[in-house]
Structure formats: structure tokens, C-alpha cells
Amino acid sequence: MQQINQARPESAGAAHSGSGGPLAGIRVLDFSHILAGPYCTRLLADLGAEVVKVETGSRPDMTAALRPDEAAPGRQDRQPLYLNTNRGKQAITLNLKHDAGREIAWRLACEADVVVENFSASVMTRLGLDYEHLSEANPRLVYLSLSGYGHTGPRRHWTSMNMNLQAHSGLMLVTGREGDPPVSIANSWNDYIGGIHGAFAVVEALRHRQHTGKGMALDVSQFECSVGTIGGLLMAAAMNARAVGRRGNRCTSAVPQGVYPCLGKDTWCAIVVRSDAQWQSLVTHIGDERLTDEKLATLDGRLAAADFIDSVLEEWTRKRDCADVEQLLKPLGIGVSRVNRIDDVLALPQADHVFPRVDDGSGFHRRVTNLPIRWSGREPALGPAPRLGEHTGAVLSDWLGLSRGEIDELRRAGALD
């Protein structure tokens, strides 16, 4: 990725947020909270942007309000989800109900390259911090609104949570097996997929600005992000004039495909056979005469006998450790993997690369998720998540040139609460 903006020299704050990346010198004012927006801005921080998170002491980010594990080592002022999602950022506190607090927010936005918010549709307008107002003073501003249903259309004022979005998009009725209750994808799918789309939109808008000199407003709907990931199923339903059935772990292009029990308690392996040649290799290796029927040599035959094939394959896997199943089937070109628990993933040989340890600001080295992008000759600079309002004074001095006395006066007035 080519450097997008080198016009502004990096400040001490930018170095905190991962200097040296393709977004080095880009300033991001982050009004977002919970997960979708903060994940978006963390991706921007990982790309080198200087990200300043705006909170209020009376109502901090909800993820910070969740109770941490008091028995766990390291920081206890922030919940672990916050520490991972907001690492590499700076944090300030502003009282946006206070006139002087809103004025400071306005002035910071005028110095920013990017503003990110994920409030309900009317919040930023009520505060006078919407794109229409800010762009008059900062025409180069890229302004991202990342909400559940977007800021236009009949659902713009709906309250959105991950499960509601999965339900409304149809995702819950294409996940799981036919006849089961609707099933959601775990781990806040909509928030992460929305955050990824938001970061992509910001990078593209910055590229556009580089050529035109003009910023733009970006309206990203998490609902539409989710729908976009099941586009094939929607098209199939439209073409066939009927809903696509729920197939659990199976599909129409590979048999067998599923998760099979292995030796030991609650251990499993995932197996996918995608071609007739792979099927013949599997049959030869297993050596079970029941699978040599010539009707099973083609995909159509295996689709018709999927239950039978699964039962025979399950008999074979139950007698073997999941690691042995991997070692036996991988040389055959068959897609196979043991089913890992989270602690198993953290114990993998590449775990330190995927989940590096970062000082969380207390001297405790906590695992975090890394940016899954590598550039030759460049290592990402990973910093800890900020404490509430930790960088208020430094940011107001760096971005706005305020003196210590001016900052102290704003504190006394309640503008920085």
C-alpha cells in the first residue's frame, strides 16, 4: 500500500499509534464506542494513523464498563475486549454537553483528517458535529458514520445490536441445521465485518482526497455489510423463488463434509472431500468395503448417500486421535483439520506471531490480536490501549496548541469531564 499522506510530520502521538505505516501522518478523531467503530479505528491505527479516542468520564465506552476479571493479572481499569480493540490509540475525555467541550471537539475535528462515529442517526447532528457542519470548516475531512442500518432509509433510527442485525439480514436462518431454532454466528460478527468495511471505506476516501483535495461523507450500514456476505444465498433464493435450506456443516459441492468425533472426550475433526479423486484416496486409505460401491464414486451418488457415508466415516474417526486423523488424511490432499478450542489456538506454534504479547501499560504482557497483513521490511508498532482520558492534555497541546493553563481552565469549567 502506497503512503497516503505524508504532508503532516508525525507527532509524538502518531508514534504511539503505530508510526511508519501507510497511514502515518493521518489524524483520526474517534467518537465511536463498543465494537464496530473501535475495531475500524484500531485497524486504522495498525496502519499507522494517529487515532484519538473521545470519551466522557461520566459515560465511558461500554466495553470499558464491563467488569474485568479481578483475579486476572494486568490492568483492571478496562475490560479485556477494550484493551484489545482500542490498543495503539490515545484517549481524551470531553463533556459534549458542555459548550466549551463541544467547541474543543469542533476544533479537533477541524484538525483531523478523519472523523469516525457510530451513534444513532441524529446524535452528531444535535451536537453540531455532523459532516455538513464540519466540512464547511474542514473541506478535506473524511467523515465515517458506521451504524446498524445506515443514516438513510426507513430503519435509520432502529436500535441495532449484533443479534438483531443477524436476524434482520436472514443470517440466522441460513446458519445451523434445518429444524433447529435460528442460530447466530458467535463473537459479534456484524461489528467486526462492519469495522472492516468501514476501514476500507476510509482508506479509499483518503485515496480519493489525495487526487481531488476534497473529503467526503461515508455512510456504512452494518446490515448491508452482513447481507453482502450472504449474497450467493440471496441470489440463489431469488433465482429459485424459494428460500435456501439450512444444511448445517454440509454443502452441495462436497461429500463428505462435516465435523466428526474422534478418540477422547469432546474431540473432533473437520473433513472435506471436494473431488472424486480425493474420495477414491479416502476409500483406499480407510479400507472399508461399504464405501467401494460404484454409486458413491460420483458427487451425485455421494449426495444421495451422505448420511450413510457420514456414519461409516464416523466409525473410523472415533477410533483415532484428531491429530492422527490430520496426519493420515493431509498427504491425500483432503481438507482436514482438528477442531481447536481457543486455548488450543493460543498454543499453536505461530501463536506469538498471530497473537503477540504487548505490555498493557501495567508491566503485564497481554496477548492481543495482530493486524493480519505483512509488509516486507516493516513490523507493526503495537501499543497498549489507553486509560480513560490519559492523553487529554497532550492531544489538546499537540493538535490545538493549548497551554497547560488553558487546559487546566477547561478542566475547572467541566469541559473535559
Q: Where in the chain is the domain with CATH 3.40.50.10540?
A: 12-229+352-413
Kindly report which listed range (16-25, 293-302, 318-327, 351-360) carries the lowest average pLDDT score. Answer: 16-25
**Overall residue count recorded for the chain in this entry:** 417
pLDDT mean over 318-343: 96
pLDDT mean over 49-69: 84
Instruction: Return the pLDDT at 15.
Output: 39
Concatenating the DSSP letter of every residue in 78-117 gives: S-HHHHHHTTT-EEEE--TTSHHHHHHHHHHHHH-SEEEE
Kindly report which listed range (130-134, 240-244, 266-270, 320-324) carries the lowest average pLDDT score. Answer: 240-244
Model confidence at 238: pLDDT above 80: no
Instruction: Return the pLDDT at 2.
Output: 53
At 239-256, the pLDDT tens digits run 877 777 778 889 889 999
Kindly report which listed range (134-148, 273-287, 361-375) carries the lowest average pLDDT score. Answer: 361-375
Q: Which CATH number fits domain 12-229+352-413: 3.30.43.10, 3.40.190.10, 3.40.50.10540, 3.20.20.60?
A: 3.40.50.10540
Model confidence at 258: pLDDT above 90: yes
- In whole angstroms, give the CA distance from residue 27 to residue 335: 44
Task: Give the CATH superfamily of 257-341.
Answer: formyl-coa transferase, domain 3 (3.30.1540.10)
- In whole angstroms, give the CA distance from residue 89 to residue 384: 8
C-alpha cell at 288: 472399508
Q: Where in the chain is the domain with CATH 3.30.1540.10?
A: 257-341
